[in-house]
Amino acid sequence: MALKAYDKLKHAVRYWLLRTLPTCQQTVEKISQSMERSLTLKERINLRLHLWTCAWCQWYLEHLYLIRKTARAKADESSEFIPGAGLSNDARERIRRRLTNHN
């Protein structure tokens, strides 16, 4: 019984916060900026509270870091995995000629 009341209260608080805090559209912009600079105290509090109420923006944040981590882990070797053609025959021959003329 008490648990039910607690859940109801939690739900009401979350609902109220979602309506009061900056929207998801504003929050995703802050999430992106938080990866570039330190947010002000007010921005940090708003972001924390928004994330507490909104699973979607939580995932958004998680995905941005997942993309960053994946991309940076192999930055120098990324060509191993990036599909796509290598040099065209024309370009290869042009570069070869240029390198031979250099000698």
Residues lying near another protein in the complex (CB under 8 A) are found at 18-19, 23-26, 28-29, 32-33, 35-37, 56-57, 59-60, 62-64, 66-76, 78-84, 86-88, 91-92, 94-96, 98-100, 102-103
Tell me the two tokens of residue 47: 């972001």
Nearer to another protein, 47 or 57 (CB): 57
Q: Choose between 4 and 69: whose C-beta lies nearer to another protein.
A: 69
Where b means 16+ CB within 10 Å and e means fewer, 79-100 reads eeeeeeeeeeeeeeeeeeeeee
Query: 74: which DSSP letter?
Result: T
In the complex, the smallest distance separating the C-beta of residue 2 from another protein, rounded to whole angstroms, is 30
Of residues 6 and 20, the one with the C-beta less far from another protein: 20
Distance between CA atoms of residues 78 and 47, nearest Å: 33
